[in-house]
Amino acid sequence: METGNRLVLLDFLLVTVALVTLIVDFLVSGYTAYKQFYMRNYAIVAVTALLAFVPGFITSVLSCFWLARGSSQSVRPKLPTLFHVFRILSVVFLNSPVSGYVNALYYLFKRHQALLKGELEALQRSWELMAACMMEVTMLRLYFAFLNTCPQLILQIYFWLQMETKANSSEGWLDILVAMNSMISISMAATTYDRTFLQNRPDKETMRFRATVMLFFIHFFNLGARLLAISLFTSLSVEYVALLLGIHWIVMVAWLMLPVLKSSFHFEKILAIMALGVAFIFVFIKSEGSRTRRKYAFYYTISLVGNTSMMVMWFKHGSYPNLPDIPNFMDSWIYYLGLTCHYVFFFTGIVLLALYHMSRLPGRAASVEIRLSERLPN
């Protein structure tokens, strides 16, 4: 009983944090648009609006597509009418992940009730419904994070470097808090997706609190290194950054497609891989295919080479005369700080990744029924 309650509490914590950071992301988009409109940067306002519209439209279309395909047929009869109305409104207003998180909280409540009553069948049913719901919402959130939040964070750092913003001013501190929320939001999106992916595999054990926290920090540090390199290089040339990221996306998509093409050709899988390729530009996430260790070695080698290339170019050609808080004799200090932070973040993430896999015992084959029965009192 105690183990089951802890798992429910952990799931509740993850869903709540993911929902709150998503709402804050919406507020940040509005704040960025208002700030740039006030500064008469209408082109940036248009870009910000586009970054909010495109992911919202894509996630709404995917939500409707999955619903029409019947992926939620088992979920639909179990939800009250009010939840369906809220889902329709979230689709209309391009906020599909919000309704998914609300549905997940509802299933968590049902799961907690079944756990308290000791009803194995109801517990198994609520677990399956929540698993199906989380698979959808974590995928939608992943698309939103890497199509909206990542570009927004890169723009925030770009503006901080290019505009005359004092780091010790209230506006500067607000920008730092906004950037930290974006980092937490993206890391949470990747963590919940990986955790849901592993939880739905029968050969993997339940991921506990310590493993989940370690997975979050792995994503946080790896994303920090990657986004720092991209953001600093963006301050030199937006065009070259777009070119490099496009090449990286093509390489990732081709790499992810190899196992699919060897087995069987499914157009739906190809589209999903092309979408996941966007996430792989920034961070490694769980996927089907070859052994994970080989994927890690390939992916992080490519990332390190790409990050190092961008950091070297920024170190040699970067110039920021508009940063008034840095005296002239400290001009070179910001470059060494950028390099140091990047490699500290990157190798901290690699060390945590190694510790994570060393601490995780090989998963034993266990059905959902066995895992659920272990959480019930005898």
The whole-angstrom separation of Cα 291 and Cα 23 is 36
Q: How far apart are CA 337 and CA 342, in angstroms?
A: 8
**What is the sign of the dihedral through the CA atoms of 282, 285, 288 and 290?**
positive
Per-residue pLDDT of the chain (378 residues; tens, 9 = 90+): 546 677 888 888 989 999 998 898 888 888 888 888 888 888 888 888 888 888 888 888 888 877 776 544 444 446 777 887 888 888 888 888 898 899 888 888 888 888 887 777 777 787 888 888 888 888 889 888 888 888 888 887 777 766 644 444 556 677 778 888 889 999 999 999 888 888 777 666 667 788 889 999 999 999 999 998 998 888 787 788 888 888 888 988 888 887 766 666 666 677 778 878 888 889 888 766 555 677 888 889 989 998 998 888 887 776 554 444 444 434 556 677 778 889 999 999 999 998 888 876 444 433 344 344 444 444
End-to-end CA distance of the chain: 9
Q: What are phi and psi of 206, to 5 degrees?
A: -65, 135
Taking the C-alpha atoms of residue 175 and residue 289, their distance in angstroms, rounded to an integer, is 40
How far apart, in whole angstroms, are the C-alpha atoms of residue 135 and residue 145?
15
Q: Considering the entire predicted model, what is its pTM?
A: 0.82
